[in-house]
Amino acid sequence: MRIYKCFRILGWDFTITPTRFVLTGFVFLMVATVLLRLLTGFQYVTNLTDETPWGLWIAFDVMCGVALAGGGYSTALLVSMFRYKQYGIVARGALLTSLLGYILVMAGLFLDIGQWFNFWRPFVSWGYTSVLFEVFWCISIYTTILSVEFFEIITERVLVKKLHKYVVKILPVLIVIGLVFPVLHQSSLGGLFLIMKEKMFPLWWSEFLPVYFLLSSFFIGSAMVAVETSLAKTAYGHEIPHDIMLSLTKVGARIMVVYLVMKLYDIITLDQWSYVFQGTLQSNMYCIEMLFGIIIPILIIFSPLGKKKWGLLTYAWLTVLGVILNRLNCVFTSMYESGAYFPGIGEFIVSIGLISMGVLIYCFLVENFNILGNERAVQIKIDKDKDIKNLIWSLLRTKRH
Amino acid sequence: MAVLVDITKCIGCEGCTVACKRYNQLNFKAKPRNVKDGRVELDDNRWTVIQEFQGKDKDKLRFVKKQCLHCLEPACASACFSKAIQKDKKTGAVVYYPDLCVGCRYCLVACPYSIPKYQWEEQFPQVSKCQMCSERQTNGDAPVCVAACTTGALTSGTREELLKKAHEIIDSDPRYVKHIYGEHEVGGAEWLYISDVPFEELGFKTVSDTPVTDYTKSYLSKVPGFAAAWALFLTGLAVYNHRVEKNRKANDEDEQGKEE
Structure confidence by residue, pLDDT tens digits, A114-155:
888 888 888 988 988 999 999 999 999 999 998 888 888 888
Q: Does the distance separating the beta carbons of A122 and B79 come in below 8 Å?
A: no
Chain A, 42 to 61: residues with Cβ < 8 Å from chain B are: 42-43, 48-51, 53-54
* Cα B229 from Cα B105, distance rounded (Å): 33
The minimal CB distance from B34 to the residues A50, A54, A122 is found for A50
Q: Taking Cα atoms as reference points, which of A286, A257, A258, A289 lies closest to residue A272?
A: A286
Query: Rounded mean pLDDT of B28-39?
Result: 89
Q: Does the distance separating the beta carbons of A122 and B241 come in below 8 Å?
A: no
ipTM: 0.88
**Which residues of chain A fall short of a pLDDT of 70?**
1-7, 373-375, 379-401
* Cα B61 from Cα B128, distance rounded (Å): 29
**Cα nearest neighbour of B75 on chain A:** A195
A81 touches chain B (CB under 8 A): yes
Chain A, 276 to 315: residues with Cβ < 8 Å from chain B are: none
**Cα nearest neighbour of B240 on chain A:** A81
Instruction: Tell me the chain B residues in contact with residue A50 when contact means C-beta distances shorter than 8 Å.
Output: 33-34, 41-43, 108, 114, 117-118, 120
Q: Does the distance separating the beta carbons of A191 and B33 come in below 8 Å?
A: no
CATH of span A47-343: 1.20.1630.10
Q: Which residues pair with B71 in a beta bridge?
A: B189
- pLDDT confidence of residue A311: 87
**Of A397 and B210, which is predicted with more confidence?**
B210
- pLDDT confidence of residue A382: 46
- pLDDT confidence of residue A1: 45
The minimal CB distance from A129 to the residues B78, B212, B242 is found for B78
B11 to chain A, minimum CA–CA distance in Å? 28
Instruction: Tell me the chain B residues in contact with residue A61 when contact means C-beta distances shorter than 8 Å.
Output: none
pLDDT score of B176 more than 90: yes
Specify the range with the lowest mean pLDDT, choosing from A88-92, B105-109, B190-194: A88-92
The minimal CB distance from A184 to the residues B121, B227, B241 is found for B227
Q: For chains A and B, count residue pairs whose Cβ atoms are closer than 8 Å.
A: 172
Specify the range with the lowest mean pLDDT, choosing from A16-25, A196-205, B44-53, B217-226: A16-25
- CB count in 10 Å sphere of residue A163: 14
- pLDDT confidence of residue A291: 92
pLDDT score of B16 more than 90: yes
**Of A13 and B68, which is predicted with more confidence?**
B68
Instruction: Tell me the chain A residues in contact with residue B110 when contact means C-beta distances shorter than 8 Å.
Output: 195-196
Return the percentage of chain B with pLDDT > 70, whole number.
99
**Of B251 and A338, which is predicted with more confidence?**
B251
Chain A, 367 to 396: residues with Cβ < 8 Å from chain B are: none
3-state secondary structure of A88: helix
- pLDDT confidence of residue A373: 67
Q: At what angle do helices A345-368 and A88-112 cross, to 10 degrees?
A: 150
The minimal CB distance from A115 to the residues B80, B101, B210 is found for B101
Q: Does the distance separating the beta carbons of B102 and A129 come in below 8 Å?
A: no
B193 to chain A, minimum CA–CA distance in Å? 20
A197 to chain B, minimum CA–CA distance in Å? 7
B122 to chain A, minimum CA–CA distance in Å? 6
Looking at beta carbons, which pairs linking A34-39 to residues 24 or more positions away fall under 8 Å?
A34/A111, A34/A350, A34/A353, A36/A346, A37/A111, A37/A346, A37/A350, A38/A111, A38/A116, A39/B123
Q: Does the distance separating the beta carbons of A115 and B125 come in below 8 Å?
A: yes
Q: Does the distance separating the beta carbons of B100 and A121 come in below 8 Å?
A: yes
pLDDT score of B8 more than 70: yes
> Where exactly does CATH 1.20.1630.10 map onto chain A?
47-343
- pLDDT confidence of residue A401: 42
